[in-house]
Amino acid sequence: MRKTMISTAALFALFSIVACSSNPAAPAGEQSAAPKKTEAPQYETGRNAFQKLFVAARAFAPDAKPYKLVSAYTPGAPVSEGKAGIWRAEFASPSKRAIKAYTWSGVAEEGSPDRGVTHGTEDSYNPSNSSTQIFEIAFLKIDSDKAFEVAQKHGGEKLMKSDPKQPVIYLLDFNTRANELIWHVIYGENRNDAKLKVAVNATTGGFMRIEH
Q: Who's near 173: CB < 8 A, 6+ residues apart?
A: 67, 68, 69, 133, 181, 182, 184
Residue 2: its pLDDT value, please? Answer: 40
Residue 39: its pLDDT value, please? Answer: 81
- Read off the pTM: 0.81
- CA-to-CA separations, 15 to 3, 8, 9, 26, in angstroms, rounded: 19, 11, 10, 21
Give pLDDT < 50 ranges for the chain: 1-36
Coil, strand, or helix at residue 15? helix
- Return phi, psi of residue 6, to 5°: -65, -40
Residue 112: its pLDDT value, please? Answer: 85
| Contact of 83 with 44, CB cutoff 8 Å | yes
Residue 38: its pLDDT value, please? Answer: 64
pLDDT tens by residue, 80-93: 999 999 999 999 99
Helix (H) or strand (E) run with residue 20 in it: helix 2-22
Residue 109: its pLDDT value, please? Answer: 80
Q: What is residue 68's DSSP assignment?
A: E
Q: Who's near 145: CB < 8 A, 6+ residues apart?
A: 45, 81, 82, 83
Q: Who's near 84: CB < 8 A, 6+ residues apart?
A: 43, 44, 46, 49, 71, 72, 73, 74, 77, 144, 169, 170
